[in-house]
Amino acid sequence: MSITRSPDGTVRSVPRRAARLHLSKGPGYAAAAWGFLFAVPSFVWATGSTFGARSTVSPSLVKLAHDGAPWFLAVLVTTGFLKLFGALVGVGLTRPLGSRIGRLTVFCGGGAATLLTWHGGLFVVHGVLVGAGAVSVEPDLAALTGWYLYLWGPWFIVGGLAFAWATALYVRRRDDSRTLRLHGVVGALGALVLSVASTATGIG
C-alpha cells in the first residue's frame, strides 16, 4: 500500500499496483512532450526565421531556411508534423487501445526509440572523435561540434529512451504482450535498417 493525501487533507492508502500504473504513464507523457517541443523549431524555421539555428545548426541548412527554399520548407513542415505524430504516439502509450491501434502504436514506438537513439549516438560519437582529433571537419562546422555533442546528441538519446521506456511499459501492461513485443521489435529493426542505410549513403 502507498499513502496519498486527498485535496481536503484526508490521508488514505492506495494499492501499490494502482500507484505504479499511475507512475508508469510518465515515460509516455515524456515522449509526447519531447515530440511536441521538438516540433516547434521545425515550424518556426519553416517560416523563414532562423532563431536559435545560426549557432547550433549547419550553416548550409540555416541558409536554406533563410532563403526560403520551397523544397526545404516542405521538409521542415513534414518533419514538424512527424514530430507531432510522435507526440501522439507517446500519449497513446499511456492509454488502453484496441488491438489494431495498439500494435501500430507499439510498432511506431519501437521505431522511434531506435531511430532517435541511433542518430543521437552518432552525434555524440562524432563529437567525441572530433574533440579527440581523430576526425577533422570543415572550419565553419568546427564550432558546431560542441552543440551536436552536448545538445542535439543527448536530446535525441533522451527522446529515444523515453519512447523505449514508454513502449516497454505499455507492452508489459497488456494481455497480448507477446504479439505487441513482436511488433515493437519489427518497428525497431525497420528503423535500424533505415538509419544504417541513410548513414551509409550520406542521406541521414
Domain ranges of the chain: 29-88, 99-204
Please say if the pLDDT value at position 2 is more than 70.
Answer: no
Cβ(183)–Cβ(107) below 8 Å? yes
Give the ranges where the chain is alpha helix by DSSP (H): 16-23, 26-46, 59-67, 70-92, 99-131, 139-142, 145-147, 153-173, 177-201
Cβ(195)–Cβ(115) below 8 Å? yes
State the CB neighbour count (10 A cutoff) for residue 113.
25
Please say if the pLDDT value at position 140 is more than 90.
Answer: no
What are the CA-CA distances from residue 63 to residues 20, 68, 109 (Å)? 48, 8, 33
Q: Is 14 helix (H, G, I), strand (E, B) or coil?
A: strand
pLDDT at residue 116, as a whole number: 96
Q: Is 143 helix (H, G, I), strand (E, B) or coil?
A: coil
pLDDT at residue 65, as a whole number: 83
- pLDDT per position as a tens digit, 32-90: 999 999 999 999 988 888 887 777 777 788 888 888 889 989 999 999 999 999 999 99
Average pLDDT, the chain: 85
Identify the bridge partners of residue 11 per DSSP, sorted by sequence position.
5
The pLDDT of 107-113, averaged and rounded, is: 97
